[in-house]
Amino acid sequence: MTSVPMTSAATTGAATTGAPTFAVVPGAQVHEALHGHEQDVIATVEAAYRLHGEGRTVNPDSYFLRFPDRPSDRIIALPASLRASGAGDGPDSGPTSNDPGVHGIKWISSFPGNVAAGLPRASAVLILNDAETGYPFACLESSIISAARTAASAALAAARLADARGERPRRVGFFGVGLIARYLHTYLAANGFDFTEAGVHDLSADHAHGFADYLRRAEGEDLAVTVHEKPEDLVRSADLVVFATVAGEPHVTDPAWFAHHPLVLHISLRDLSPEIVLDSWNVVDDIDHCLKAGTSPHLAEQRVGHRTFVAGTLYDVLTGTITPPADRTVVFSPFGLGVLDLAVAKHVHDQVLAAGRLHTVPDFFHELKRYG
């Protein structure tokens, strides 16, 4: 592979002359582009949510590859298209009107058995396609991108929902303690959350204590960390509850645990029973995407036969269309939109390109002459 200098024509993948370029962005470069720049990632995710709410995206259903002999494993394809703000809207559309945006797809696997073997549960790649030619111009390691966009989405929602309720929580509880939980903590801290107490619960006591040690190292002596053996104790002790598990069906079923009306980041989507969902004020990232595939909101819809228990989307919160109440449990359930992955991946690609460190694969495209 060769490095493309900053002055290369490969800013969007299709060179102005000659063959299109193709680059590979490994995990180390992805990490370097994102770590310590959490505010930039949150801003990128917010911009993508706003474009999605304004109808400037194409975000089809996710496609699940499942295996009859391995029901807990799956590989998911998330295709998406992101049109730059103002693109193609006419002569008065502004300075970004000539930016056609970007297309792409994330291919992410979830094999929970990896954890016992010392590997992360999820692995992923993401392909970026040039919006004008359709040619793929970059392949990026994407487990880090996926974790970052998930955490940025949650941190954005937590801040906007908490601020609208008038107070940011100081007591946080992490239900599930994998890589996603670690990223969530990082992005919550970067987005201004200052916790005095943290609770931890996981089916694995070793993992729970390991995450508690991580929190103590990250936060120092000012944070009181408690490992809870009982999930009820975790929920009741936290004003911000973060669900980041691999649960396939609801396992938290008692609405009384939430009598103190916490803010809930329901990242893993299938932890809460329909009773809890129906007793809460619910906001999602996209209603049609979230209410399917056996998610907790989907099960609630099947229970009651309607969707009126969903107050709206995060875009509605960002634009002030809806405001969360202070006297009800508020649950954010994000299905995870491919346009978010696409936006963060394009951000990473552009950062690496600007640094003059983009590695291209020479002659990746071979058959470029119509008649040979």
CA distance 144 to 35: 10
pLDDT of residue 6: 33
Reference 113, options 249, 250, 267, 246; nearest CA is 246
pLDDT of residue 9: 37
CA distance 281 to 262: 11
pLDDT of residue 86: 52
pLDDT of residue 221: 86
pLDDT of residue 99: 66
Reference 37, options 338, 267, 351; nearest CA is 351
Q: Token match 């809806």: residue?
A: 322
Query: 194 in the Ramachandran plot: left (φ > 0), alpha (ψ -120 to 50) or beta?
Result: beta
Reference 77, options 125, 140, 45, 115; nearest CA is 125
**Residues of the chain under the 70 pLDDT cut:** 1-19, 84-99
pLDDT of residue 98: 57
Percent of the chain whose pLDDT exceeds 90: 81
Burial 137-173 (b: 16+ CB within 10 A, else e): bbbbbbbbbbbbbbbbbbbbbbbbbbeebeebbebbb
Burial 62-93 (b: 16+ CB within 10 A, else e): beeeeeeeeeebebbebbbbbbbbbbeeeeee
303 token code pair: 């229970």
CA distance 28 to 42: 20
Task: Quote the crossing angle between the two packed helices 143-165 and 38-53, to the nearest 10°.
Answer: 80
Contacts made by residues 163-166, CB under 8 angstroms, sequence distance 24+: 164/317, 164/323, 164/324, 165/263, 165/324, 165/325, 165/326, 165/330, 166/326
- Domains belonging to the chain, first-starting first, are 2-146+338-360 (3.30.1780.10), 150-333 (3.40.50.720)
Q: What's the predicted TM-score (pTM) here? A: 0.89
Q: Are 52 and 75 in contact (CB under 8 A)?
A: no
367 token code pair: 């058959």
